[in-house]
Amino acid sequence: MSGSGQDDAAMAWALEQLRPYAPVVQHLQVPYDGWRCLQASLTLQGESLPVRALLRSQNTPEAGLEAEVIDLGRGRPDDFERVGDAVRGKIVLVSHEFPFTGDHVHRRRKYDMALQAGAVGFLIANNVPGQGLLSGSSGRPRDGVGIPAAYTDYESAQRLIAAAAQGAARVNLVIQGEELLDSQASVGIAEIPGGRDSVIVISAHMDGHDLGVSALDNATGVATALAAARALAAKVGPDTPSLRICFFCAEEWALAGSARYLADMDPAERARIKFDINLDTVAGDLSLTAMISDFPALEPVVNQAAALAGIPVSTWLPLMPNSDHANFARNGIPALRLTAGFGKPDSRVNNILSAGDLPAIIAEGELRQALAVTCALADVALGMSDAQLDALAARD
């Protein structure tokens, strides 16, 4: 978790692994809006329910926020439209969704809709029975407008829905957190210099959530990036672009680390980056998907790499702002996120953000597949001319 110090320790360790292959290694720091939860509780009719504050949640009054809970189902735009003004003054209850589907509505969007509709609080329930709580970010900026926001588990949501149906879902929600001023997030850069000005990036986020150990999300991406750097080092030479490994922290804080790294970069330096291969949750299922961020020219690159690796990889065109690739894409840099289990809510990938995100749920074969695909993607890009790389940025 960013802010725990473990993210910085993991960064130092990972960069040490890259030193034998990458002559240029930098451990940078970028500012982000740090925050820590001090206290969280949820009480229904005198009984405590499990609750976990979203990162950067707004505080309730110290004695708690007393309000009626209103059930908005999955909390999609049509759910908010259907209920309209009835949300005002209430605590909205919505359902978490498996994040890797075509029609997924992100937690932060549901939160924003609740805020805009006049809700005084936001509860998001795990959609998986028996899986306990989840952890996630509210995305509220420092000094930004917000409402108290927290996860609860599936079983508590069922109780709240039943109580709401009887008009008896008045709860007390307590969330007390504190701002951690001057927080810094580690950024790790390791570069294997080529002979050309252009740069190919392999990125992965180092931070996670701490209910489990973030093995899927995102030790799998970090491990794959490390192994890919080792395997690709010999392929980078005088005729190729440079290969840069970027590790980010504060990804789980609304993608803050990579946003700041790219925003602070000189535009000419940023223009050298031709392609970002972002690795996030690349195991947990044997199916692999490249989310190609509205860059249609990346589809043939993915297909070529999949053929080279002998591993099927599907593509998903629309930008999914669910990892650091989205910040590269927003800066006009062709970017994809490789992920496992897209469209498969029953896969082991559904353990992300939960206490079940542990090493034991990952199969080595899944990591080897992700590694083969990552190396093939980088290999294809390293073999392209600058004109071919620039053409990847075409939007139609």
Q: Is the peptide bond before 331 cis (omega within 30 degrees of 0)?
A: no
Q: Can you state the angle between helices 220-232 and 364-382, rounded to 10 degrees?
A: 50
- Strands (E) located in the chain: 24-31, 34-44, 47-49, 52-53, 65-71, 91-95, 121-125, 149-152, 170-180, 184-192, 199-205, 242-248, 273-279, 288-291, 313-316, 335-340
Work out how close the CB of 135 gets to Zn ion at its nearest, in angstroms, rounded to a whole number.
12
Q: Which is nearer to Zn ion, 96 or 196 (CB)?
A: 96
Q: Applying CB under 5 A, what is the total number of residues that bind Zn ion?
A: 3
Residues in CB range of 376: below 8 A, 6 or more apart:
304, 305, 306, 308, 309
Q: Which is nearer to Zn ion, 34 or 99 (CB)?
A: 99
Work out how close the CB of 205 gets to Zn ion at its nearest, in angstroms, rounded to a whole number.
6
- Contact letters for Zn ion, residues 278-307 (x by CB under 5 A): --x---------------------------
Work out how close the CB of 293 gets to Zn ion at its nearest, in angstroms, rounded to a whole number.
15
Work out how close the CB of 208 gets to Zn ion at its nearest, in angstroms, rounded to a whole number.
7
Write out the binding residues for Zn ion, residues 213-232 only, by CB under 5 A: 217-218
Work out how close the CB of 323 gets to Zn ion at its nearest, in angstroms, rounded to a whole number.
5
Q: Which is nearer to Zn ion, 153 or 252 (CB)?
A: 252
Q: Which is nearer to Zn ion, 222 or 382 (CB)?
A: 222
Under 8 Å between Cβ of 186 and 27: yes
Under 8 Å between Cβ of 172 and 42: yes
Q: Which is nearer to Zn ion, 3 or 241 (CB)?
A: 3
Under 8 Å between Cβ of 212 and 351: yes
Q: Which is nearer to Zn ion, 44 or 134 (CB)?
A: 134
Work out how close the CB of 30 gets to Zn ion at its nearest, in angstroms, rounded to a whole number.
18
Q: Which is nearer to Zn ion, 149 or 216 (CB)?
A: 216
**Stretch of 159-167, 178-186, 210-218, 376-384 contacting Zn ion, by CB under 5 A:** 210-218
Under 8 Å between Cβ of 71 and 171: no
- Contact letters for Zn ion, residues 251-280 (x by CB under 5 A): -----------------------------x
Q: Which is nearer to Zn ion, 79 or 280 (CB)?
A: 280
Give me 114's structure tokens: 């609740």
Q: Is 324 in the site for Zn ion (CB under 5 A)?
A: no
Q: Which is nearer to Zn ion, 171 or 282 (CB)?
A: 282
Residues in CB range of 223: below 8 A, 6 or more apart:
367
Work out how close the CB of 356 gets to Zn ion at its nearest, in angstroms, rounded to a whole number.
15
Under 8 Å between Cβ of 38 and 57: no
Q: Is 153 in the site for Zn ion (CB under 5 A)?
A: no
**Residues facing 92 on adjacent strands:** 70, 122
**Residues facing 95 on adjacent strands:** 125
- Strands (E) located in 215-261: 242-248
Number of Cβ within 10 Å of residue 98's Cβ equals 18
Cα-based angle 106, 110, 114 (whole degrees, multiple of 5)? 165
CA distances from 156 to 95, 123, 150, 173 (A): 12, 11, 13, 13
Work out how close the CB of 354 gets to Zn ion at its nearest, in angstroms, rounded to a whole number.
13
Work out how close the CB of 252 gets to Zn ion at its nearest, in angstroms, rounded to a whole number.
7
Under 8 Å between Cβ of 265 and 333: no
- Interface positions with Zn ion (CB under 5 A): 217-218, 280
